[in-house]
Amino acid sequence: MQHSWLLKLIYSAITLIVSALLYRVILRATEKAMGSKKILNGKKSNTYIKFVRSIIRYVFAVIVVLTLLKIYGVNISSMLAGVGLIGVVLGLAVQDLLKDVIRGSGILSDEYFSVGDVVEFKGIEGKVIDIGLKTTKIQELTTGNVHSIANRNIEHIAVVAPYIYVRVPLPYELKVAEQRTVMEKIVENVKTDELVEDCENIGLAELADSRIEYLLKIKIDPHNKLQSRRNTLGHIVETLEKSGVSVPYNQLDIHQK
């Protein structure tokens, strides 16, 4: 009896070791083959590789578990046949899993987004670092925290556009011609920033209570969105100061009889 259990333990250890080595070999061969395809260069290559890696991992896990069960005398054929009897129960239990797998395949085939893209999910903006069979992982830009999002929630994920919009406040006392001149200087100053690809004055945005607001459209790399906004605000304040224009603020006028 002890001899039988010892053999089973040895076979189990061999199965795990061989599976681990085979997994690494297949994974490296797959990544090398996919990386050699010119059509899969860049972010698209990383996306496919990470997704295929996830599939291989799940397939190997199932094969190893079934092999170990067989080593310990479990009748795999009877077990698989018995699954049909409890299929309804299992179906309810794995509904979300199936949704995740289907949506994960959809992300890949329809190219909703790729590894390296910046996306927004329920107010959180982050970089996509992994797309798996069940979940997509994003790293938050502000904190570096990593969030795992079930693939079935793809409808709540939006790819962040490579633009930011910044309002420029100007005082009402400034004449229209002077406003245009100041805005031209601000645009040129913002364009000198190394994080900015382009800057455009969209025009008048709002006639507020104590100021006139113009709108800038700035093209940037979404990864640098927060720093680009900070830099832009700095360029605006600097240009207004050099132009002798004060930043408007709310004032309260009191009239006495």
Of 146, 186, 147, 143, the closest CA to residue 166 belongs to 186
Span(s) in the chain for CATH 1.10.287: 2-93
Using the structure block, give the residue that is written with the tokens 């994960």.
Answer: 104
**66, 36, 65, 30: which is closest to 51 by C-alpha?**
30
Q: Would you write out the chain's pLDDT as a tens digit for each of its 257 residues? A: 556 777 777 778 888 888 888 878 877 777 676 655 544 555 556 666 666 777 777 777 777 877 877 777 777 666 555 555 455 445 544 566 666 666 666 666 667 788 888 999 988 899 999 887 788 899 998 888 999 888 888 888 888 999 999 999 999 999 999 999 999 999 999 999 999 999 999 999 999 888 999 999 999 999 899 899 999 999 999 999 999 998 877 655 554 55
What is the four-CA torsion angle of 93, 95, 101, 105, rounded to 10 degrees? 170
User: Which part of the chain is CATH 3.30.70.100?
Assistant: 163-242
Q: State the span(s) of the chain assigned CATH 2.30.30.60.
A: 106-159
The residues, any chain, with a CB within 8 Å of residue 116's CB and separated by 6 or more, are 43, 46, 127, 128
**What digits encode the pLDDT tens for the residues 48-78?**
666 677 777 777 777 787 787 777 777 766 6
Name the architecture of domain 106-159. Roll (2.30)
Phi, psi dihedrals of residue 138, rounded to the nearest 5°: -125, 145
- CATH node for 2-93: 1.10.287
CB 181 within 8 A of CB 175: no
Element (H, E) at 50: helix 42-71
Task: Tell which CATH classification among 3.30.70.100, 1.10.357.10, 3.10.300.10, 1.20.1070.10 matches the domain 163-242.
Answer: 3.30.70.100
Count H helices, E strands: the chain?
Answer: 7, 8
**Residue 63 neighbours by CB under 8 Å, 6+ apart:** 19
pLDDT in tens, 33-43: 665 554 455 55
Sign of CA dihedral 43, 45, 46, 51: positive
